[in-house]
Amino acid sequence: MGVWCWKLKLGVMLGLMCNISSISESKKEIWRWEEQEADIVERLPGQPAVKFKQYAGYITVNQSHGRALFYWFFESSHQPHQKPLLLWLNGGPGCSSIGYGEAEELGPFFPQNSTKPKLKLNPYSWNKAANLLFLESPVGVGFSYTNTSTDIQQLGDTITAKDSDTFMVKWFRRFPRFRSHEFYIAGESYAGHYVSQMCELIVKKNRDGSKEEYINLKGLMMGNALLDDETDQKGMIDYAWDHGVISDGLYRNISTKCDFRRRNQSEECRVELDKYFDVYKIIDMYSLYAPTCTSSTRPARRGYGYGYDPCASDYTDKYMNLAQVQKALHANNSRIPYPWTHCSNSITFWNDAPSSMLPLLNSLIAAGLRIWLYSGDTDGRIPVTATRYTLKKLGLPIVQDWTPWYAGKQVGGWTVLYDGLTFVTVRGAGHQVPSFAPQQSLQLFQHFLANQQLPRHPIC
């Protein structure tokens, strides 16, 4: 009788514990749903009507320091429950993925030149192919902030990767329906560091960590990416000379006085490099043949090639600093004591930055991730020449060499298929490839997601 009573009591206790656990999980689900609903963006000032949902807000990545990262998320315009999730990161370090990536490259909405707030719907937005997540990282960039001022002086690659990973773990808790989706990370420029390091961290955590924090990472894509200091700098100088930007004399002086295998250059080298950068005060280093923004190029209706407007950043800057826009985005709730900018003026110190990402790339290839590098061939900052030097240094076997790919009936660029990596050039595009070649960029992204080679023949 005593044993039976004990078993009865144990059963009741277990039942209560299960009920308590169930109630606790239900509360968590309600809390997460409430967080999602609080972040939903109903409609932005000047926004055209759309059918897809968008969310924006903050996720705290360090509670004790008050460190919070700002995001803007767009569900896919078609069947979001079936589409993969892409995290987009811009570089700098210190530049906004919302200011560039969303508002001027691959997002759904582009601010326009107008007396009233006005957004244009991007017909080649990448949310046609995936659910799009833009993150302003690290703290101090855009609307992301910290309540601990010393955090800004400790920024570097390591803390950026850790905070971005913490963000994703917490973001998936807030949006659990996307946890099972295929996940990809993409970016450009200094995001060659961000993307590589974040992928490495996720791969390690997936292998060693808990199932609750598992992220279904499948691949990464990087455009005009900073990957190796030596080859990126050598390629930058060689490209400038080969494209008629610098004189034979200056090229010879830099070649003889600079050793890009070293981190710290001689004073003689720095003097010659200053002369080199002076040239780019009068032309756009990031798009060699594009006009710069002047009063005559400002009207958006005039555009340049594929509708490119050299003054687009001015419109974005104005739009993102409007109080009604920030309110609609749930941004700047903490009243940041400086205006929103494309690139942070407060990030003047960077604690750590490895000179090469090539060892990381090799480890990510070994992990079986899909890796595509692409390069706009009119970029002077991290030019196609530099990336080709970098890939040669990486030393992967070539499976299929220099092959044209087509966007419609026109050559979109060239591809090289390596054992473990795909390289794509985009003809006529600058540093921010989707700004200059939006249709080709969307095509490139769609083929990356499908793991398909780009068309090798004209498309009728």
Active site residues: 189, 379, 431
144: CB partners within 8 A, 6+ apart: 58, 68, 69, 70, 136, 137, 138
Give, in degrees to the nearest 5, the angle at Cα 180 between 138 and 183: 40
Burial class (CB in 10 A: 0-12, 13-18, 19+), 315: buried
Pair of tokens at residue 96? 């906004």
The H or E element containing residue 121 is strand 119-121
| Angle, vertex CA 198, rays to CA 196 and CA 204, nearest 5 | 100
CB-count burial class (<10 Å; 0-12, 13-18, 19+) for 2: exposed
- Residue 305 DSSP label: T
Q: Is the dihedral of CA 162, 164, 168, 170 positive or negative?
A: positive
Instruction: Report yes or no: 136 and 96 within 8 Å, Cβ to Cβ.
Output: yes
Measured CA angle at 221 (ends 217, 225), to 5 deg: 130
Compute φ and ψ for 307, nearest 5 degrees.
Answer: 80, 10
Q: How far apart are CA 372 and CA 304, in angstroms?
A: 28
Our measurement of the distance from residue 55's CA atom to the centroid of its chain's CA atoms, rounded to an integer in Å, reads 18
Contacts of residue 460, defined as CB under 8 A and 6 or more positions apart, other chains included, come to: 409
Q: Which helix (H) or strand (E) holds 392?
A: helix 384-394
